[in-house]
């Protein structure tokens, strides 16, 4: 009996430590926000304020809802991102919140806009001239609980933030308490899923004819 109880306690302790480790930043995590920084962003699907806490903690809030969560550092590059994510458990009190935050590295503006085209029908991304990107999508499930998906990316062209991007709306994203790194080189991590590029460049002023939605 005592041995069984001890075994259970050890299992719980290991599980707890593993869960805590999931929320620790890795030395190579390509985050967008540093502790104390906030972003207020709006697209056609709504507005959100995102605030970065210590390590991977993020607070998302808009109107009547607010959610605090510890994001998970990616260990493989996922569609170009080696940042943070939350796959969102299927049952939570205020619906699901799926999150993807990370830096995206491209060789040209054309390549970056072709990347943003993928999924643009759903996430309707907006971006600034220096490459800060916000995407947001809301879906109502059968129980009427919303499933929200948030994308926050910083684009780099050959290791540097861009200066001008066609279709940029600088007033759609406001950053407070700091700025994203001016330069960034991609860490040579294993690739889980290759980056997908659309056939044409994304333009937020035009409705895409067709856009592929990737899994979170």
Closest-CA residue to 73 (of 108, 35, 137, 27): 27
Token pair, residue 1, equals: 């009996």
In contact, 104 and 80? CB cutoff 8 Å? yes
Token pair, residue 110, equals: 């054309």
Residue 146 has what pLDDT?
A: 85
Residue 39 has what pLDDT?
A: 98
Residue 209 has what pLDDT?
A: 53
Residue 172 has what pLDDT?
A: 97
Residue 3 has what pLDDT?
A: 43
Token pair, residue 196, equals: 């997908």
CA-based diameter of the chain, in Å?
68
Domain ranges for the chain: 26-193
Kindly calculate the radius of gyration of the chain based on its CA atoms and give it in whole angstroms. 18
pTM for the complete prediction? 0.85
Average pLDDT per block of 10 residues along the chain, 216 residues long: 40 37 87 98 97 97 92 97 88 75 98 97 97 94 80 98 97 97 97 96 76 54
């Amino acid at each position: 009996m005592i041995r069984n109880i001890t075994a259970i306690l050890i299992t719980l302790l290991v599980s707890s430590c593993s869960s805590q480790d999931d929320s620790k930043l890795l030395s190579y995590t390509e985050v967008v926000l540093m502790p104390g920084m906030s972003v207020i962003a709006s697209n056609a699907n709504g507005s959100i304020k995102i605030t970065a806490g210590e390590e991977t903690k993020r607070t998302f809030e808009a109107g009547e809802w607010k959610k605090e969560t510890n994001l998970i550092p990616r260990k493989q590059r996922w569609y170009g991102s080696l940042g943070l994510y939350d796959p969102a458990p299927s049952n939570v009190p205020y619906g699901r919140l799926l999150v993807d935050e990370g830096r995206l590295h491209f060789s040209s503006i054309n390549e970056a806009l072709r990347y943003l085209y993928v999924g643009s029908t759903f996430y309707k991304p907006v971006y600034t001239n220096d490459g800060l990107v916000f995407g947001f999508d809301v879906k109502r499930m059968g129980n009427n609980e919303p499933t929200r998906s948030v994308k926050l990316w910083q684009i780099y062209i050959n290791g540097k933030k861009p200066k001008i991007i066609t279709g940029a709306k600088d007033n759609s994203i406001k950053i407070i308490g700091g700025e994203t790194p001016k330069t960034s080189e991609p860490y040579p991590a294993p690739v889980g899923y290759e980056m997908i590029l659309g056939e044409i460049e994304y333009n937020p002023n035009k409705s895409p004819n067709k856009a592929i939605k990737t899994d979170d």
